[in-house]
Amino acid sequence: MTHTLKALLSAILIAAAPLTSAFAADTYALDPAHTQTIFTIDHLGFSTITGAVHDLKGTLFFDAAKPEDSVVEVTMAADSVDTGFAARDKALQSPMFFNVAQFPTMTFKSTHINMTSAKTADIRGDFTLLGITRPLVLKTTFNRMAQDTTGTNVYKAGFTATTTIKRSEFGMKAYVPYVGDDVHVTINFEGIKQ
C-alpha cells in the first residue's frame, strides 16, 4: 500500500470518528413535531401533487461498532395521508387506494444499513403497504447530532432520506398510468435520544 493511500485512509477514519462515536449504542425516538414524510406524484402529466403522512411513530437504534446491525422501525397511520384537498384525501382512504379500514398502518423496518460515506448510508429494509411487504432502500444523509438549544434540553439526531415507491407493486393500481405509479418520498427525521 502506498504512503498516499495510507494517508487518505487515515484521514477518512479520523473524519468519520466523531460521527461514529456519537452514535454508539444510542436509541432515538422519533420526534413527531419535527419529522415529516412528504411525497409527490404525477397527475396526468399536468401537475405534481404533494402530500404528507402526519401520524408517525418510530425508533432508531444505531450500533457504532456494527452499523449493519442498526435498526430503524417506523409505523405510519394510513388515514393521516394529507394532500391538502379534503375530497381527495377521503377518496385515498377508500379500498381503491389505502383501504384504511382493512390496512390502517404502513410500516418500515430496516434489515441492513450500509454506510456509503461518513455522512451517508443506504438503509435497506422491508416496507409494508396494503398487507404486502417488499424491499425498499432509503438513501440517507446525516444532518446533525447535538443538544437542542431551543430550551427543550434534549439531545437530537437529524437525517434526511429519499426513496421511490412503485404503488402498483403493493396492489394500489387505481388510475395507473394516468396518475403516476412512482411515488417519490422524502423523510425529514428528528430523533430524541432516550
Contacts of 150 (CB under 8 A, 6+ apart): none
Rounded Cα gap, residues 100 and 76, in angstroms: 11
Rounded Cα gap, residues 166 and 173, in angstroms: 10
**DSSP, res 15:** H
Q: Cα-atom radius of gyration of the chain, to the nearest Å? A: 19
Q: Per-residue pLDDT tens, the chain, 194 aa: give them.
A: 444 333 333 333 333 444 444 445 789 999 999 999 999 999 999 999 999 999 999 999 977 677 778 899 999 999 999 999 999 999 999 999 999 999 999 999 999 999 999 889 999 999 999 999 999 999 999 999 899 988 788 999 999 999 999 999 999 999 999 999 999 999 999 999 99
Nearest alpha carbon to residue 99 among 81, 83, 114: 81
Q: What is the pTM of this model?
A: 0.83
Domain range enclosing 178:
3-193
Overall number of domains in the chain: 1
Nearest alpha carbon to residue 175 among 42, 17, 12, 37: 42
Beta bridge partners of 157: 145, 191
CATH of the domain at 21: 2.40.128.110
Cα dihedral across residues 132, 133, 136, 141: positive or negative: positive
**The one-letter amino acid at 70:** S
Whose grid coordinates read 417488499?
Answer: 134
Whether the CB-CB separation of 42 and 180 falls below 8 Å is answered with yes
